[in-house]
Amino acid sequence: MEITTIGLDLAKNVFQVHGVDAADTVVVRKALRRAQVLPFFAKLSPCLVGIEACGTSHHWARELTVLGHEVRLMPPVYVKPYVKRGKNDAADAEAICEAVTRPTMRFVPIKSREQQGALSLHRVCKWLVGQRTQLVNLMRSQLGEFGIAIPAGLGHALTKARQFVDGEVAFDLPACAAKVIELLAQQALDLHTRLREIDQRIEAMLRSDELARRLATIPGIGPIGATALVAAVADPHQFRSGRQFAAWLGLTPRQKSSGGKERLGRITKMGDKYLRQLLVIGATSMIRRAKDRPDAVDPRLIALLARKPAKLVSVAMANKMARIAWAVMTRGQVYQARHEPVLVA
């Protein structure tokens, strides 16, 4: 019988295949080594292949698409209910094969190599920022043990680090402690230099991408947020509305409604954590600007701050920014403050 649907459970070295025919009869159930995957699918007639979305799924989806197969990626959380009693690779592949045929299943668009490359740049940038923060905090704590305080702020810490490395300032420290501070200071400066190089690459990505430039016109979304949205959202048209896009990012309230009574809780935080974090940070910067220059921001933000706590307002503004971003991505428009979006010339 001809195979019509396959569930493929990915792994590092051993991949599990579960295939059925048009009558849902199991035709193949076998394990494949990594080198056997593409030759196996190359011999098959084009069929529907279901894969759980994970770190390597986009690569395999692109490879199988080239062979003529229709590949659909699914969030693992949506596949889990189809796993029967017991948890193993064969059961997972069978569940994937069942889930991919469901008419109400939600799928993850396949990312291109360029999108994954841009996302890797963002991931490394986030990791390096954390490393730099750890180094600066460790340097502060070590100097604090000898009664030396550095003013708050990353700029002050990096300035002191540069002065110490260049010999412009000398702390009254034991020889071994001075070596430790020099090591921390030099490493923090090196990381800062690498982060500046990554920022320049992100700026170049912004200039070269028309969609990213349009997203950057939205208040609160800068080069990092704009390029991250372009890289993470493979197909904005998969969302029917801005609210659905905001829900995908985890920025909508959790619902616990029953018996006709609607109960809304905190935001779900179920979506892309990195994108949600960027939007909330952008909204927070808008709130900070509203306190310093209230005439330079939307009056509705000022009115909202008068009624609600700042943290709640930042999440609400992040939700609004997500909806605006969806409209900009799907309608080919740019954002204009206090005006309807206009078509790009």
339, 213, 245, 117 alpha-carbon torsion, rounded to 10°: 180
* Contact status, residue 117 vs residue 227, Cβ threshold 8 Å: no
Spatial separation of the C-alpha atoms in residues 75 and 79, rounded to whole Å:
7
The last residue of a domain, from among 193, 208, 223: 208
- Assigned domain for 107 exists: no
The last residue of a domain, from among 150, 174, 208: 208
Predicted confidence at residue 1, as pLDDT, reads 65
Tokens of 282: 């952008």
Residues 71 and 164 in one domain: no
- Assigned domain for 108 exists: no
- Assigned domain for 133 exists: yes
Predicted confidence at residue 270, as pLDDT, reads 86
The last residue of a domain, from among 99, 125, 147: 99
DSSP 149: -
Predicted confidence at residue 342, as pLDDT, reads 45
Predicted confidence at residue 263, as pLDDT, reads 85
- The CATH number for 54's domain is 3.30.420.140
Q: Domain span at residue 223?
A: 214-343
- Assigned domain for 307 exists: yes
Residues 259 and 168 in one domain: no
- Assigned domain for 105 exists: no
Spatial separation of the C-alpha atoms in residues 135 and 188, rounded to whole Å:
6
pTM: 0.86
Residues 59 and 133 in one domain: no
Residues 221 and 312 in one domain: yes
Predicted confidence at residue 341, as pLDDT, reads 44
Residues 56 and 145 in one domain: no
- Assigned domain for 95 exists: yes
- Assigned domain for 150 exists: yes
Predicted confidence at residue 338, as pLDDT, reads 58
Residues 204 and 294 in one domain: no
Provide the domain count of the chain.
Answer: 3
Residues 283 and 325 in one domain: yes
Residues 183 and 88 in one domain: no
Mean pLDDT of residues grouped by 10 in the chain (345 residues)?
92 95 94 96 96 94 97 95 90 96 94 94 95 96 92 93 90 91 95 96 95 94 95 92 94 87 86 93 92 83 90 93 94 74 43
- Assigned domain for 131 exists: yes
Residues 245 and 329 in one domain: yes
96 contact partners, CB below 8 Å, separation of at least 6: 7, 8, 9, 18, 50, 51, 52, 74, 79, 82
Residues 324 and 204 in one domain: no
Predicted confidence at residue 163, as pLDDT, reads 92
Predicted confidence at residue 339, as pLDDT, reads 52
